[in-house]
Every structure is written in C-alpha cells, then in structure tokens.
Amino acid sequence: MDWLVLPFTKYAQFTGRSARKEYWIFVGSTLTTLTVLMLIESFLGNSKLGYTQWAQQMLLQPLAVVNSAGMLTKLFLLVTIVPFLSVGVRRLHDANRSGWVLLIMLVPILGQIVLLYFFLQKGTAGPNRFGGEPHPEEEVKDIHVS
C-alpha cells in the first residue's frame, strides 16, 4: 500500500529520482483504477461509449475514450495527472535524462515506444546530476498513512 501512496506524497516534486518499482507500481495501479472506473461508468450508462465499444476503442483511440468518459473517470484523471507527470520526470532523472524528454510522448506511436524503453531501463548507479540514487525501501518506511 505504501508504494501506491509514495507518488502522491511527492505530488508535484519534479526534482530528484524515482526507482523503477515506484514508477511501475504507480502506473499499474493508476491504469487499473482508470480501467475499472471506465468500465463501471460504461455499465451504468454514464459514458458515451458502451462497454463493448470501450474495449475496442481503448486500443485504437485512447483519447476518444477519455473524451467520452463519465465524470468519475475525468475527476480521477484530473487528480492523477500531476503525480503521473512528476513520477515520470523523476523516473527519467533516474536514468540521467532530462525531464523534458517526457515531451516525446507527443510524437504519435514512436514517442510512446521510446518513453517505454527509457522507463524500463535501469537507473544510473550512484548519484547523477539529478541527485543521489533512490532508495525506495527507505522512502517507504518514512511514510505513515493514518
């Protein structure tokens, strides 16, 4: 549970580094929650797309799916966009890349493939120009959620 909370504790911190584990647990939980919300809203009729259309369009036109999503899904996206961007920038910092590289996602298909490659890479060992090596186990121990 601490891994899910960690990126929210660093909500808008675009400095420092994030380990692969922190990034991928956050991305996985965010995408899972988003999928569940979109499916629930499709079943309830709060979405412009039905659940069968949603599944087909998710792979072909993800932005069209978001535009046709219900209010809960849009609210969730609004709440998670800044932590999603900040953990992505910190993950790029861990591989000794500028956070501005995140803008490559605007290049259709190729940009997402390149970013996926960067996010999967192991971070640089030891300190780099963006800070010391992230120690996720120690960061998680410092979080106390009540």
Taking only Cα atoms into account, the Rg of the chain, rounded to an integer number of angstroms, comes to 17
- State how many domains the chain has: 1
Residue 146 falls inside a structural domain: no
- Backbone φ and ψ for 127, nearest 5 degrees, come out as -70, 150
* Other CB atoms within 10 A of residue 40 CB: 15
Q: Share the mean pLDDT of the chain.
A: 79
Structural domain that includes position 45: 2-141
pTM for this prediction: 0.76
Residue 66 falls inside a structural domain: yes
pLDDT, tens digit (0-9, with 9 covering 90-100), for 58-107: 555 666 666 777 788 888 988 988 999 999 999 999 888 998 999 998 88
Please, what sign has the CA dihedral across residues 103, 87, 35, 122? positive
